[in-house]
Each structure stands twice: as structure tokens, then as C-alpha cells.
Amino acid sequence: MRYDLHTHSLISDGELLPAELAARAMAIGHEALAITDHVDMTNIEEAVTMAVRAAELSEDYVRLIPGVEITHVPPRQIDGLVKRARKLGAEIIVIHGETVTEPVAPGTNAVAVRNPEVDILAHPGLIIEEDVEEAARNDVTLEISGRRGHSLSNGHVARLASSYGARMVVNSDAHAPEDLMDERRAMTVALGAGLSEKLASCAVNDAPAEILRRL
């Protein structure tokens, strides 16, 4: 796994400083890592500022990309926070989707997939067909999650994304050192979701590379 576009540090609820997160990612073969800590309207400025500062580590470790995961924000406020995050310097915008393990506000998935400024809809749970179609139309990538609990709906997401041509990406959603995934583990997550070898390889390597090319 050369790229992981959804990870968390001590900036929010992760266990590691950005420097240790980057060092551990490099040790298992990563080339690029996005720090996408949880934000809402109360902490977005501080979180993005610290993620941008952490990107200075790129000279010595993996390429670090400053980002955010907009989390549990009322759907009507999501678009405004996306704009603020971009203005502050976030290069990767992840929206915390309607996972089956948390009480995420209904409509979060729908708002995320209709905004072309959103890069990734994380762990979208039992996403409906209409939202998958919108994701494909607006080039919003759907996550196949390596995180326990969030991964319960990976098969559902993979099946619909494959049917409607929506891009998929495998991310760790790492909060702790043991959450980071090497390529073998990432491929296992993708294949376990029901993807073919070709689609699994695309979700692990090609899709994140394409997102990074757009930065």
C-alpha cells in the first residue's frame, strides 16, 4: 500500500504525533499519507493549521498531505466547512459518511457526493444507489474501510460502486499504530469486500494516485 488518504493523529483522536505516524507509514512502504483529523466548526482552523505544519515532515519521511475529515456536522453545514477547509490549506477533504456503527445524521452521504470539492466519502455505510450514482457523476471517491466496524458495509459499498462506475479507494482510517496497513493487508480488505483482483489493485493503488495527481 503506497498511499493512505485517511488517517488520524493526536490533532484529534489518534494516538500518534504526525511525525511518528509518518515514520511508521514510511517503515511499511508508504509513499504518501494524508492526515485527515476530525473537524467540525469548532476546531477546523487549528486542525488544518497543524496538518499544514506537519507537511514539513515530507522532506524526511513520506509525502504528508494536510487534510480533514468533516465529522458529525449537520448536512446543511457541510458545504460551508468544505470551503473553509480548502481556504485554510486542506488538500484532501474527507467526509465522515453514514457508517453503520455511529449515529451519523441522515443526508450526510447525499450532501457529500453532490459536492465535487469533496475527495472521499469515508465508510458510507448502507449508501443508496442514487448517492452512488451522484458520487460517480461528481468524481467523489467512495471508501472501502480497513477500520473495524466501519468495514461491515464494505461489501455493499463495493457492489454498488462497481455497478455504477464510482471510484473506490482503500484507506486504513488509522487511529493507532496497528491500524496502518501494508499492501498485502490493504489488498485483503479490498478482496474481502468482493472486488476482483483488478478492481482491488485499482482501489489500493491507482485510485489514490489519481486523487493525488489532482492536487
Strand partners, 191: none
Q: Quick: pLDDT tens for 165-201.
A: 999 999 999 999 999 999 999 999 999 999 999 999 9
pTM of the predicted structure, to 2 decimals: 0.98
- Is 210:40 a contact under the CB 8 Å cutoff? no
Mapped onto helix, strand or coil, the DSSP state of residue 89 is: coil
- Domain count across the chain: 1
Q: How do the residues of the chain divide into helix, strand and coil, expressed in percent and rounded to 5?
A: 45, 20, 35
Sign of CA dihedral 49, 211, 107, 8: negative
Q: What percent of the chain has pLDDT over 90?
A: 100
Phi, psi of 7 (to 5 degrees): -140, 165
How far apart (Å, rounded) are the C-alpha atoms in residues 148 and 7?
14
How far apart (Å, rounded) are the C-alpha atoms in residues 110 and 135?
9
Q: Quick: pLDDT tens for 197-214.
A: 999 999 999 999 999 999
C-alpha cell at 77: 453545514
- CATH number for the domain spanning 117: value is 3.20.20.140
Domain of residue 188 covers 3-213
Amino acid at residue number 72: H
How far apart (Å, rounded) are the C-alpha atoms in residues 116 and 111?
10
Cβ-based neighbours of 167, under 8 Å, separated by 6 or more: 135, 136, 139, 141, 142, 161, 207, 210
How far apart (Å, rounded) are the C-alpha atoms in residues 93 and 164?
22
Report H helices in 89-206: 108-113, 129-138, 154-164, 183-192, 197-201
Using pLDDT thresholds of 50, 70 and 90, give the confidence band for residue 153. Answer: very high
Q: What percent of the chain has pLDDT over 70?
A: 100
Mapped onto helix, strand or coil, the DSSP state of residue 33 is: strand
